[in-house]
Structure 1
Amino acid sequence: MSSSIDTVYKLGPGCEVEDVQEGNIYLGQVQGFANFGTFVQLNNAVKGLIHKSNALTQHRERADILVMVAQVRPNGNIDLREVLLDEYETTVVNRVVRTTPLSDLGEKIGKRITVEGELGQVKQTSGPTIFTIIDETGVENAAAFIEAGVRAYPEADTGDIVQISGEVMKRNNQLQIEVSSLNRLDGNEAAVVRARIDAALDKRAEPADIPFLVESDTLQKLRPEMQKLAKIVRRAVFTQQPIILRHHADADGISAAVAVETAVVSLIRDHLSETDSEYYLFKRSPSKAPFYEIEDITRDLDFMLKDAIRFGQKLPLIFLMDNGSTEEDMPAYKIGQVYDLDIIVSDHHHPDEIVDQFLKAHVNPYHVGGDFGLTAGMIGTELARMINPDVEKRIRHLPAIAGVADRSDSVELPQYLSLVADEYPLDECKKIALALDYEQFWLRFNDGREIVKDILNLNNNPLRHKRLVTLLVEEAEMAIAEQVKTLMPHVERRTLASGALLFLADVEMYAHRFTFPPPGKTSGEIHDLLCNEHAGEPVVTLGIGPDFVVLRSRGVMMNIPQMVRELREEISGGGVNGGGHLVVGSIKFVEGMRNVVIESLIAKIGEAPVAGKNA
Structure 2
Amino acid sequence: MIKECPDCHGRGYKVVSTEICPQCKGKGKSKSIDFMKMSEKNLDSILKNGAECGKCKGTGSIEVTTPCKTCNGLGKIYTCKICGARIEKPQDPNQEVCESCANSQYVYALDESCDLKDVEAGKLYHGVVSSKASFGAFVDLNPHVRGLMHSSNIVVPPEVGDSVIVLVKSIKAGGKLDLIPKTIKKYETVEVEKELPLKNSAEIDPSMKGRLLRIEGEVIQVKQTSGPTIFTISDEGGFVPCAAFESAGKRSYPHIDVGMIVSITGEVTLRDDQIQIEVMSMKLLTGEKEAVVKGRVERVIDEKATPADIPFLVKSEIMEKLKPRMLHVAKEIKKAILHSTPIILRHHADADGITSAIAIERAILPLITEIGGMDAEYYFYKRAPSKAPFYELADVTRDISYALEDLSRHGQKMPLIILVDNGSTEEDVPSMRQAKVYGIDMLVIDHHHPDDIVDQYLIGHVNPAHVGGDFGVTAGMLCAEVARMINPNISDTIKHLPAVSAVGDRSEAPEAERYISLVSDRYTLEELKEMALALDYEQFWLKFSSGKGLIDDILDLGDHETHKNLVSLLCEQANTMIQDQLETCLFNVKSQNLANGTIMNVIDVENYAHKFTFPPPGKTSGEVHDVLTKKYPDKPVVTIGYGPDFAVIRSKGVLMNIPKIVRELREEIKGAGVSGGGHLVVGSIKFVEGMRTEVLSRLAEKIGSAEVEY
Written as runs of structure 1 = structure 2, the 5 A alignment for 1:343-382 is 343-382=442-481
After superposition, what is the alpha-carbon deviation per residue over 1:443-471, rounded to whole angstroms, capped at 9, x for unaligned? 00000111101111112x00111100000
Alignment of structure 1 residues 466-485 onto 2, 5 Å? 466-485=564-583
Structure 2 residue aligned with 1:551, among 649, 667, 674? 649
Match of residue 582, structure 1, among 656, 674, 680: 680
Of 465, 486, 494, 1:395 maps to 494
Match runs of 1:456-475 below 5 Å = 456-459=555-558, 461-475=559-573
Q: 2:388 aligns with which of 276, 289, 297?
A: 289
Kindly indicate whether the alpha-carbon contact (under 8 Å) linking 1:249 and 1:287 is maintained by their aligned counterparts in 2: yes
Alpha-carbon spacing, 1:83–1:425, altered in 2? closer, same or farther (3 Å): same
Contact 2:150 2:179 in 1 (8 A): no
Change in 2 beyond 3 A, CA 1:88/1:482: closer
State percent identity of aligned pairs.
51
Alignment of 1:318-337 (within 5 A): 318-337=417-436
Question: Structure 2 matches for 1:15-30, cutoff 5 A?
Answer: 15-26=114-125, 28-30=126-128
1:424-443 paired onto structure 2 within 5 Å: 424-443=523-542
Indicate whether 1:280 and 2:403 are aligned: no
1:239 counterpart residue number: 339
Alpha-carbon displacement from aligned partner over 1:201-238 (angstroms, at most 9, x marks no partner):
11111111111111111111111111111111111111
- C-alpha change, 1:33 and 1:301, in structure 2 (3 Å) is farther
Out of 478, 481, 489, the position equivalent to 2:587 is: 489
Q: Structure 1 pair 311/92, CA: closer, same or farther in 2 (3 Å)?
A: closer
Task: Give the Å deviation of 1:391.
Answer: 1.3
**Does the CA contact (< 8 Å) of 1:30 and 1:59 recur in 2?**
no
Structure 1 equivalent of residue 66 of structure 2 = none
Going from structure 1 to structure 2, the CA distance change for 1:330 and 1:19 (only over 3 Å counts) comes to same
Provide the rounded CA distance (Å) in 1 between the counterparts of 2:128 and 2:236: 36
1:186 offset after TM fit, Å?
A: 1.8
Name whichever of 445-454 and 66-75 sits farther off.
66-75
- Deviates most, 69-78 or 514-523: 69-78
Aligned residues: 606
**C-alpha displacement of 1:6:** 3.5
Q: Aligned residue for 2:310? A: 210
Q: Residue 171 of structure 1 corresponds to which residue in structure 2?
A: 271
Cα distance in 2, alignment partners of residues 596 and 60 from structure 1: 83
For the aligned residue pairs, the C-alpha RMSD in angstroms reads 2.0
SS, match of residue 244 in structure 1? strand
Contact 2:355 / 2:501 at 8 angstroms: preserved in 1? Answer: yes
Query: What displacement does 1:110 show?
Result: 2.8
Whole-angstrom distance in 2 between the partners of 1:9 and 1:113: 22
* Structure 1 range deviating more: 34-43 or 189-198: 34-43
Q: Which residue of 1 aligns with 2:287?
A: 187
Per the alignment, residue 42 of structure 2 pairs with none
1:410 and 2:509 equivalent? yes
Are the aligned partners of 1:39 and 1:47 in contact in 2 as well (CA < 8 Å)?
no
C-alpha change, 1:219 and 1:195, in structure 2 (3 Å) is same
Query: What is the letter of the counterpart of residue 311 of structure 1?
Result: H
Higher relative CO (Cα under 8 Å, sequence separation at least 6) belongs to 1
Whether the 8 Å CA contact 1:14–1:97 is kept in 2: the answer is no
Check the 8 A contact 1:50/1:82 in 2, yes or no: no
Bigger Cα Rg = 2
CA distance in structure 2 between the aligned counterparts of 1:589 and 1:210, rounded to whole angstroms: 46
Residue identity in the other structure for 2:403: M
Choose from 354, 357, 363 the match for 1:263. 363
Q: Aligned with 1:371: secondary structure?
A: coil
Shift of 1:266: 1.3
Query: What displacement does 1:41 show?
Result: 5.5
* Conserved 8 A contact 1:48-1:80: no
Gaps of 5+ in 1: none
| Contact kept in structure 1, 2:314 and 2:511, CA below 8 Å | yes
* C-alpha contact 1:523 1:542 (8 A) present in aligned 2: yes
Match of residue 482, structure 2, among 367, 370, 383: 383
- Structure 1 residue 65: deviation in Å? 2.9
- Structure 2 residue ranges without an equivalent (≥5): 1-101
- Indicate yes or no: 2:518 matched with 1:419: yes
Counterpart residue number, 1:154: 254
1:103-138 CA-partner distances (Å, limit 9, x unpaired): 121142232221111111111001111010111011
Q: C-alpha deviations, 1:231-257, integer Å up to 9, x for none?
A: 111111111110011110000000000
How far is the alpha carbon of 1:55 from its aligned partner? 4.4
- 3-state SS in 2 of match to 1:222: helix
Q: Secondary structure in 2 aligned to 1:449? A: coil
Q: What amino acid sits opposite 2:422 in the alignment?
A: N
Please state whether the residue corresponding to 2:708 is helix, strand or coil.
Answer: coil
Provide closer, same or farther for how the CA distance between residues 302 and 35 of structure 1 changes in structure 2, counting only shifts above 3 A: farther
Contact 2:111 2:281 in 1 (8 A): no
The answer to whether the 8 A contact 1:13-1:163 is kept is: no
Structure 2: distance between partners of 1:268 and 1:151: 27
1: CA distance between counterparts of 2:159 and 2:305?
A: 49
Is it true that 1:101 corresponds to 2:228 in the alignment? no
Question: Does the 8 A contact of 2:340 with 2:371 survive in 1?
Answer: no
Question: Matched residue of 2:413: which SS?
Answer: coil
Alignment partner of 2:241 out of 141, 148, 159: 141
